[in-house]
Amino acid sequence: MNDTQRVGLARALSKMGYCSRSEAAELARAGRVRLNGSLTRNPEAPVRLGKDRIEVDGKAVEAGAKIYFVLNKPRGVVTTAADEQGRDTVYSLLPADAPWVGPVGRLDKASEGMLLLTNDSEWAARVAAPETHLAKIYHVQISVVADAALTAALEAGFAVKDGEVLRVSRAEILRSGEKNSWLEVTLDEGKNRQIRRMFEARGIEVLRLIRVAIGPLALADLAKGQCRNLAPTEKLAMDLAMKRTSE
């Protein structure tokens, strides 16, 4: 990075893998951050990455190695660093010696399955960006017996409660019982609670919602509540997939 390229202080701490941007902003406002020896309370103070010295609580911050985790999130666990209601968070499932990582996107409390976490903020932003069109695949159990008309409607799109028109890129019936069905639903541009909102708009209850894949990365046999490092070949496959979909 040359002298003319600068980022805000909070963003610099995030890019260096120290903490999230919001946490970094709180540290700065609390008077715990020094920039080149001077106390800096402005989270947007310009920083030259690789040149300026940042200290938090008197200790120099160095850019850490990039870490990429894949976690099989259980139902009932929230995707936050801390929860004011005392609920279990995904961070309780990470290795005790793990550095700071942030979630790539979200899974709500009732949802399960694949969650990526990393301290590589730029990579996380690319994975989560709608324009990347990286397929995200979910297995969804619903409270009715699905038919072809339902899957066709999901793919064609329709207006939900707030008037927004939503669609999925693919919907397929996996299996059905007497009272419910499992569908495989693929999104390439997920909106907030999109799958739940679409079924709610049709008066259908979502019983379970499990994310089983993101791009070429599949949940496979990773046990519920378990976390592992992304293999270099998996990281490369994700990068190649994002490059293809963005071209």
Is 57 an active-site residue? Answer: no
Q: Which long-range contacts (CB under 8 A, 24 or more apart) does 35-42 make?
A: 35/9, 40/9, 42/9
Q: Is the dihedral of CA 234, 72, 223, 172 positive or negative?
A: negative
| pLDDT band with cut points at 50, 70 and 90 for residue 82 | low
Domains and CATH numbers, the chain: 7-60 (3.10.290.10), 68-131+217-246 (3.30.70.580), 135-214 (3.30.2350.10)
Q: pTM, whole model, 2 decimals? A: 0.81
pLDDT tens-digit map of 175-234: 999 999 999 999 988 788 999 999 999 999 999 999 999 999 999 999 999 999 999 999
pLDDT at 1: 38
pLDDT tens-digit map of 151-169: 999 999 999 998 999 999 9
Question: 126-138 as b/e, with b when 16 or more CB fall inside 10 Å?
Answer: bbbeeebbbbbbb
Q: Distance of CA 204 to CAs 22, 32, 156, Å?
A: 36, 50, 17
How many other CB atoms sit within 10 Å of the CB of residue 215? 21
Residue with more model confidence, 125 or 82: 125
Strand-pair category, 112-118 with 206-214: parallel
Exactly one of 108, 147, 162, 188 is catalytic; name it: 108
